[in-house]
Amino acid sequence: MRQLVLDTETTGLSAENGDRIIEIGCVELLDRKLTGNNLHFYINPERDSDEGALRVHGISNEFLRDKPKFAAIASELLAYLKDAELIIHNAPFDIGFLNKEFDRMGLGKVTAHVSGVIDTLVMAKEMFPGKRNSLDALCSRLDVDNSGRTLHGALLDAELLADVYINMTRGQNALVIDEEPSEDQAQTVQDFSAIDLSQFQLPVLLSGEIELQAHEVALADLDKACKGKTIWRRHESVRVAAG
């Protein structure tokens, strides 16, 4: 699965009122692993940033004067985003700005070009209800090093969010189970001599009610974190349908 962690910086808070994108940063994940195939643009927004926005991102109007306009980078951005799943913190904000920019180019909505959008802010509110769920708060909570983040920056924030997302979904690289063993794994199994277990008297320790409940809670948390895509749930649904 190809996923892109995306962040933008803008001249202000309202795309509807004419604010524009000044920076786009994207970090690529392929099968939940960082590839290094990232994309980053500074963009001339053809207007000045609000004072409040300048305090957030620190990107001066003068710095952006000689940067390409959105029209100049649109085709490269669109090709990069094509058919990927986007991961964005507070997705409606960034999607709203991208939709406005795409609409100016006659390209339709960005969501028409990607396979889907994951909003990590929504995920965080479900996982940590009642707590602060800004990117900085999540970095602190999930032990992601954000010491280099003094101002907002699209590429840096996308890189941090990639780490946050992997941690929020429990780093499931380590939990992936191959349903079919590789040739090396099969050979390793064959290299072991068969052991007759009938000669051993193995004690059977049954789980208590509290342990079973805790186990179900842990499975439910894992299932929720990966949006119902855990292997055991798929197998469970197949057994129910077959039964």
Q: 165 to each of 106, 123, 131, 135, how far by Cα in Å?
A: 32, 9, 17, 10
Rounded to an integer, what distance in angstroms lies between the CA atom of residue 98 and that of residue 20?
A: 9
Residue 57 annotated to the active site: no
155 is written with which tokens? 């590429």
- SS3 (DSSP) at 21: strand
The four Cα atoms 179, 83, 109, 224 give a dihedral, to 10 degrees, of: 20
State the helix-helix crossing angle for 209-225 and 120-127, rounded to 10 degrees: 160
Rounded to an integer, what distance in angstroms lies between the CA atom of residue 160 and that of residue 181?
A: 34
The answer to whether 61 and 49 have CB atoms below 8 angstroms apart is: yes
The answer to whether 160 and 139 have CB atoms below 8 angstroms apart is: yes
Strands (E), the chain: 2-10, 21-30, 33-34, 39-42, 85-88, 116-119
Please tell me which residue in 113, 152, 215, 235 is annotated as part of the active site.
152
- Residue positions annotated with a catalytic role: 152
